[in-house]
Amino acid sequence: MNFTSEQIERYSRHILLQDVGLEGQEKIGDSKVLVIGVGGLGAPVLFYLAAAGIGTLGIIDREVVDLSNLQRQIIHFASDVGKIKVQSAKEKIKQINPSVKVVTYQESFNVNNAFDVIKDYDFIVDGTDNFPTKFLINDACVLAGKPFSHGGILQFEGQTLTYLPGTMCYRCVFHSPPPSNSIPTCSQAGVLGTIAGILGTIQATEVLKFLIGTGELLTNRLLTFNAKSMIFRTIKINKNRECLICGSYPSITNLAESERIVCELENK
């Protein structure tokens, strides 16, 4: 990659880092990252990845901007209320860094499109707020051999892990989605707006570490934090040999089977 003088100046603080340099910045610029969900987590992830110079950012979300989103979804402004979220996000990304290619999908991430959507990306970021989609992201990425970052927030707490092929996956920890309505969502129980920023920034950091090949990723570990006490914990978790999708004898071998598990739980 032949960097222009403008690019060298823009990314100078990265280039100065021994673990990044010109080679690392080139890897960032050649990469393709998909962010699923353009909400509280997706917003800071997209801001920092765009600023870092990711070559292609894919964003998928079917919703429009609502006034209640603005308390934490910082990529959307008051003037964006009623606007399609992926379009609102694309406009901000282009303002941050015009050189980033943005691919938008105004649709839900579902069983029918999951593999087609993720196939061209190097890394996937889960920025969703519901359990069925989180498990679907996990299952699609595990089956397709795609690395991804899981993130979840509620009230004053957050959690995240990073999956690479061969490491512990989301199902190794949480097995299956909880029954419908058994756990409140952010819209039901609330969330402190800054919690999304804290966790989303951690997820974006994991993406960049993965791309440049430095540091220790949150693989086989679950990071949790409570903002009230400001205590962060990292729990080491081994890969579960009985995991339904990545264990020794997986029972989930396609996304349709995964969807049936979700439906059975919701119908109980």
The C-alpha atoms of residue 152 and residue 262 are separated, in whole angstroms, by 18
DSSP track, 188-204: HH-B-HHHHHHHHHHHH
Residue 5 placed within a domain: no
DSSP collapsed to 3 states, 101-130: EEEEECCCCCCCCHHHHHCCCCEEEECCCC
Taking residues 23-36, report their average pLDDT: 98
CATH number for the domain including 81? 3.40.50.720
**How many structural domains is the chain composed of?**
1
Residue 150 placed within a domain: yes
Measured in degrees and rounded to the nearest 5, phi and psi for residue 129 equal: -125, 20
Q: Count the neighbouring beta carbons within 10 Å of the beta carbon of residue 18.
A: 7
Residue 168 placed within a domain: yes
Mind listing the pLDDT tens digit for each residue in 108-150? 999 999 999 999 999 999 999 999 999 999 999 999 999 999 9
Q: What tokens does 214 get?
A: 């430095």
Residue 24 placed within a domain: no
pLDDT score for 188: 72
Domain residues for 67?
31-266
Residue 17 placed within a domain: no
- 190 versus 8: the higher-pLDDT residue is 8
Residue 156 placed within a domain: yes
Does pLDDT of 263 surpass 50? no
Taking residues 47-75, report their average pLDDT: 98
Residue 21 placed within a domain: no
The C-alpha atoms of residue 29 and residue 181 are separated, in whole angstroms, by 41
Residue 25 placed within a domain: no
pTM of the model: 0.94
Taking residues 82-88, report their average pLDDT: 98
